Amino acid sequence: ELKVEQNPLFLSMQEGKNYTIYCNYSTTSDRLYWYRQDPGKSLESLFVLLSNGAVKQEGRLMASLDTKARLSTLHITAAVHDLSATYFCAVDTRLFAGTASKLTFGTGTRLQVTL
Amino acid sequence: DTGVSQNPRHKITKRGQNVTFRCDPISEHNRLYWYRQTLGQGPEFLTYFQNEAQLEKSRLLSDRFSAERPKGSFSTLEIQRTEQGDSAMYLCASLSGQNTEAFFGQGTRLTVV
């Protein structure tokens, strides 16, 4: 069974600091997604990583994918309070030939940026 | 509004009642997914439609759950004889056949009392 693990599960960081969230997964996949979720809200797509070595950046967030290590990272640079949210990685898998692909989510990392 | 739309946004029901949720995907998207998210957890896959065909169902989807997408457009998710353990956020996502990105609706939050 596919496992998607994120760490840390909870992260409290000061404004202006840098930090990295890690996403490990247990099966072969070359597609990985990062989503943001605010309390009580739905999921907002942040990044779609489609190949080994893919790196994408948007503002203070940068995501990368290493399919050989089955690892993705979400790096936060100079955090600001507005980044406080829960961040999920999701792995796109097609378990058997002929089945649909679907996203398997990690448990999420709750980020709290303090002033 | 060109996003994924879900109704209702909130539903409170008594245990044992039936509930039905609706999802309207982005109009040109032929792929539609239902997910369930409980507090503090990531979304869990429930079922998948390609056009009107339900191609995959999770083991999480017990006999009390049924989903339809009759004309390949909107979809409904029905839960019969609700239980307290069904309390969760139910999320719908859609994407086109060529698209790599899934777009999620605002979700329906179900509370079973």
**B42-76: per-residue pLDDT in tens?**
999 999 998 999 988 888 888 999 999 998 899 99
CB B29 within 8 A of CB B104: no
Amino acid present at A105 = F
Residue of B nearest to A106 (CA): B42
| Mutation for testing the B interface, residue in A37, A42, A96 having most B CBs under 10 Å | A42
CA distance A113 to A88: 17
Yes or no, beta carbons of B91 and A88 under 8 Å apart = no
Chain A interface includes B31 (CB < 8 A): yes
Structure tokens at B34: 């239902």
Q: What is the pLDDT of residue B47?
A: 94
Quote the pLDDT of residue A95.
52
Q: Whole-number mean pLDDT of chain B?
A: 92
- Reply yes or no on whether the pLDDT at A99 is more than 70: no
Closest CA in chain A for residue B107: A42
Read off the pLDDT of residues A56-97 as tens digits, 9 standing for 90 and up: 999 999 999 998 999 999 999 999 999 999 999 999 877 555
The single-letter DSSP state of residue B32 is E
Q: How many Å apart are CA B45 and CA B26, to the nearest integer? A: 19
Cα dihedral B35, B64, A99, A74, rounded to 10, equals 20
Beta carbons of A76 and A64 less than 8 angstroms apart: no
What's the pLDDT tens digit per position in A29-53?
778 999 999 988 889 999 999 888 8
